Amino acid sequence: MRPNEFRRLYQIIQVQLNYGLDELLPLHSFSRGPHCLRKMCFWLKNEHKEKMQGERLKLALQHLGPVWIKFGQMLSTRRDLFSPEIADQLAFLQDQVEPFDGVLAKAKMEEALGGPLETWFDDFNLTPLASASIAQVHTAKLKENGREVVLKVIRPDILPVIQADIKLMYRMARIVARFLPETRRLKPLEVVREYEKTLLDELDLMREAANAIQLRRNFENDHILYVPEVFCDYCKTSLMVSERIYGIQISDIVSLKANGTNLKLLAERGVQVFFTQVFRDSFFHADMHPGNVFIGHDSPEDPHWIALDCGIIGTLNREDKRYLAENFLAFFNRDYRKVAELHVDSGWVPHDTNVADFEFAIRTVCEPIFEKPLCEISFGHVLLNLFSTARHFHMEVQPQLVLLQKTLLYVEGLGRQLYPQLDLWDTAKPFLEDWISHQIGPKALLDTIKKNAPFWAEKLPELPDLLYDNLRQGRLINVRMDEMYTHFMRARKQHNRGKFLLGVGATLMVSSAILYGNQIEDVAHFTGAMALSSWFLAWRLFNQ
């Protein structure tokens, strides 16, 4: 381990112990490591004993930087796993990270635009509207038309911090894969590589602007999700300018209720938004924590979601979507045999897996869960239990599904926070059944024909020429096959003649030796010469 990596590892341990994070863990076998660190690093004391546990965890993650803040953002949505005190504190990581100086933010914006902000904007506010782990947001108005906008700028000098943490994560992943072979199926290096790509993509605001434009276009005729307009003329790699929106943050349940929002419909639409993005568009917002989701307050009985911060976008190919949809439906129908077969067919578990054993293991885990009312079942917990079971059958981590899994957990966490009785299954099942019906059967065949009709129409005039070329190629192949067969038969005959001459030569040589022993030397010399001639002719045949 290099000195700078060792220093970073020591810093992580130091922050953990200074904030007393080891004290948050129960004394179980999985937490013995952190408790042992306290004894080994006896000089590092808990300097924040007076603070509550949740605040200590929040401050420690802030201290460690963007990689760890992102992790805290993900944890903040799982209120079913943490106490309200911890979850409330982690929620501050979504958009209330310690801001950097507004004057410095303005200077970075002017550097990106190549001139003073007053050239393009009025009423720029030095106090940030929101501050997150990667970027900071300020408000202003467009000089040309007075529209209210927000300017998002990347934090200065953030790249070296991310690169240092990612390098350390790579180092630890290699060590784990080398010394714990059973973890290799979890693909630790691939997971770190995917996480690195996600973080680095967030540093390119031109990419985020393109993502937002695409997501906005996907829902331009569907009012359940609104994406603010992006002003491309002012967007740079480190700066993005978009429409300012007004709404209620999705985690502000008190304000949503005060506004008369239909929380049940709002929660169900969150599920619809997720499945529509994944299965209809193959393009989904993969960072839907509460800091990035607002609710329009103008139509509380017909609420719509507002999505911000499109820096992390996930995509799935057709095969992954098909397997996912069929897996979900098999779960809904408690068809564990189908779930096991789909895992094998997709390659998520080895093809030599005993399907009957795998089915029995899934049934053992899932049946007790399904004894509860559907509205009380956490889909996240079902997934975790399934993956835990599949690990015993050597299931490999699918890096392309990591963002999807995280987003589904976000959506479920938000939905249950809005409406605790949310029946995720009841909302999702009709959508999935409809999607599957469009992928197979007569309607799917008709849609495929319609989709490919222009291509076929374009190629139709070329069909006679293509047919003639194929027939001609077929004749040429037949001619070449005949030539190859003739050559093979000729070679075979030569080979047989060569073997015969070798046998004749051997016989003549033995006869020559016998004649020579009986002192019939003249005949012996002649027979020997004939044997050598036979071998020479055989050599010529073998080398033609």
d(CA 420, CA 263): 10
Closest to 275 (Cα-Cα) out of 424, 80, 385: 424
* DSSP secondary structure, 291-303, as one string: GGEEE-SS-TTS-
Which two three-digit tokens encode residue 389? 């079971």
Helix (H) or strand (E) holding 130: strand 130-131
Q: Angle at CA 334, nearest 5°, toward 331 and 340?
A: 70
- Sign of the Cα pseudo-torsion (522, 527, 530, 532, in order): negative
DSSP state of 313: E
Which candidate in 95, 287, 309, 423 is catalytic? 287
- Told to judge if 252 belongs to the known catalytic residues of this protein, a careful annotator would answer no
Quick check: 94 and 294 in contact, CB under 8 A?
no
Helix (H) or strand (E) holding 136: strand 135-142
d(CA 353, CA 337): 13
d(CA 117, CA 124): 8
Residue type, 479: V
Strand ranges in 286-438 using DSSP code E only, listed in sequence order? 293-295, 305-307, 313-314
Which two three-digit tokens encode residue 409? 């957990």
Which residue's entry shows tokens 């937002």?
Answer: 212
Quick check: 273 and 410 in contact, CB under 8 A?
no
d(CA 489, CA 318): 50
Q: Is 454 exposed, middle or buried (0-12, 13-18, 19+ CB in 10 A)?
A: exposed
Which two three-digit tokens encode residue 438? 């469009």
Calculated CA dihedral for residues 464, 467, 472, 473, nearest 10 degrees: 140
Could you list the active site residues? 287
